[in-house]
Amino acid sequence: MTALGDFLKAEGFTVNDSNVPYGREATWDKVRWLFVHHTAGSETKDSEDGQASYIRTAEGRYPPLAQLMLGQSSKVWVCAKPRSGQKDPGRASHAGEGSYPGISKDSANEVSLGVEVHCDGSHALSTHKAQYETLIDLLASLCSRYGLTSKEVVGHKEYSSTGKIDPRDDMDTIRRDVKDRMASGDNDGDAEMLATVRLKTSTDQSIPAAPSWNNIDWDSENDPQGWHADPGGYPSISCRKTGWVQTYARVNPKGGGLGDTLTVEVIRNVEPGDDSAWETVDSMSWVTNGSKRYSWSPSFRCVEGHKYRLRIQGGVTASTLDYGIWAWLVFKAPA
C-alpha cells in the first residue's frame, strides 16, 4: 500500500502497489514535472509483470527506474515509495542526462515523476487506444494531485541529451489531450470561473439494455460552491448561473458483451423547477472492446435554473457500472 496507489485507486484506476520498493536515496525535491516514457520491451499482456518487476528492481542498478508503469492491460503499477523524510512518491532513475526549459541540466530526476508505458517502442503509444486513453486519464489525475498543468508533461525525448526517442507520439498532442481531459479546454483565459464540481459514483449500479436508461447515482462530491443541489436519489447539477461548461466524464462498466454498445447522455430538465420531463443535451456511444474505461469530454452552455444529469444504457446486454466520475468547470459566458 502506498499513498500514491491509494490516490489512484480512488480515481478509479486498477492499481498494483504491493511490495513497492523505496525510491533512491539521492537528492529528491518534489514532483514538478511528469515524464512520459516507453518501456521498449515486449508489449504482450503476459509480459506485464516482468516489465514492472524490472522497473522496480533494475536488476540492482540504481532502482527504481520510474515511479509508475502503465501496462498493456491498463493496470497501473506503483514502482517507488518515499523514504523517510522524502515527499511523495520518492525518487526514481528515469530521466537520465538532458535539459528542458525550466529544468536544470541533468537534474530532472530530482523534480519529476516518470511514467513508463508498456510499449515496445516501435510505434506511437496512441496505437493502443484503450491504454492511451488510460494514460491521458492518468496524467490528468497526476496533474491534479501535484498541482500541475499539461505544460508540465514532458516526453523523455524532449529532455534527453543521449538520443532517447520515447515516446514516438507528438508530445504537443499528448499535452493537448491532457489539457482537454482536465476540462480546461479553450476557455478565454480572462473568463471568470463560476464553479468547480466533481462527483463520484458508488459501485455496481445497473446499466440496463436498450431502450432502458439509468440515471447515474452519485455518492460523494467536491462542490464548495453548492451547485450540486439535490443530494439523494439521482442527484443533479443545478445550474445557478448561466455559463460555459467544460466537463469530463469517465465510466468503468463491468460485464456486458464484446461488441455491445455503451451510451452515456447529459440530460436537462425541460422546464426549471419541473423534474417530470428531461431532454438530451449531448451524448456519446462506444462499442465495447474489452476496455474497462471510457472517457468523454462534453462541453455545453449550462442555463441558470435548469438541472443536469448523466444517464447510461447498454446495447443488447445489461451490465453494471463499477465506477464513474463527472467533473465540471463552469465559466462566465464570454462577452
- What residue segments make up the domains of the chain, in order of their start? 3-181, 193-332
pLDDT of res. 220: 61
Q: What are the residues facing 279 on neighbouring strands?
A: 268
Write the CATH number of the domain with boundaries 193-332: 2.60.120.40
Q: Which architecture, in CATH terms, is 3-181? A: 3-Layer(aba) Sandwich (3.40)
Burial 305-325 (b: 16+ CB within 10 A, else e): ebbbbbbbbbbebbbbbbbbb
Q: pLDDT-derived band of residue 305, with 50, 70 and 90 as boundaries?
A: confident
> From CA 302, how far away is CA 285, in angstroms rounded?
22
Q: Are 89 and 31 in contact (CB under 8 A)?
A: yes
Examine the pLDDT at 272 and tell me if it is beyond 90. Answer: no
What would the pLDDT profile of 27-72 be if each residue is shown by its tens digit?
999 999 999 999 998 888 889 999 999 999 998 789 999 999 999 9
* CA gap 201, 325 in Å, rounded: 6
**205-225 pLDDT per residue, tens:** 999 999 999 999 887 666 666
CA dihedral over 60, 63, 66, 71, signed as positive or negative: positive
What does the pLDDT read at residue 300?
Answer: 84
Distance (Å, rounded) from C-alpha 168 to C-alpha 122?
8
Q: What angle do CA 73, 57, 49 make, to 5 degrees?
A: 20
pLDDT at 186: 39
d(Cα 253, Cα 256) in Å, to the nearest integer? 8
Three-state SS at 103 = strand
Q: Residue 223 has what pLDDT?
A: 67
Percent of the chain with pLDDT over 70: 93
Whose cell is 431502450? That residue is 211
pLDDT above 70 (res 185): no
pLDDT recorded at residue 183: 64
Note the pTM of the prediction, 2 decimals: 0.68
Report angle CA 97, 101, 103 to the nearest 5 degrees: 50
pLDDT level of residue 94 (50, 70, 90 thresholds): very high
pLDDT at residue 45, rounded to an integer: 82
Q: Which parts of the chain fold into alpha helices (H)? A: 3-10, 48-57, 129-146, 156-159, 171-181
Q: Report the 3 state secondary structure along 55-89.
A: HHHHHHCCCCCCCEEECCCCCEEECCECCCCCCCC
Name which residue leads in pLDDT, 56 or 181. Answer: 56
pLDDT value of position 12: 83
Which of 190-194, 256-260, 310-314 bottoms out in mean pLDDT, i.e. has the lowest?
190-194
Instruction: Give the model's pLDDT for residue 231.
Output: 57
Query: So what's the pLDDT on residue 227?
Result: 78
- Rounded mean pLDDT of the chain? 88
Cα of first residue to Cα of last residue in the chain, in angstroms, is 49
pLDDT bin (cut points 50, 70, 90) of residue 333 is low
CA within 13 Å, CB half, 334: 5
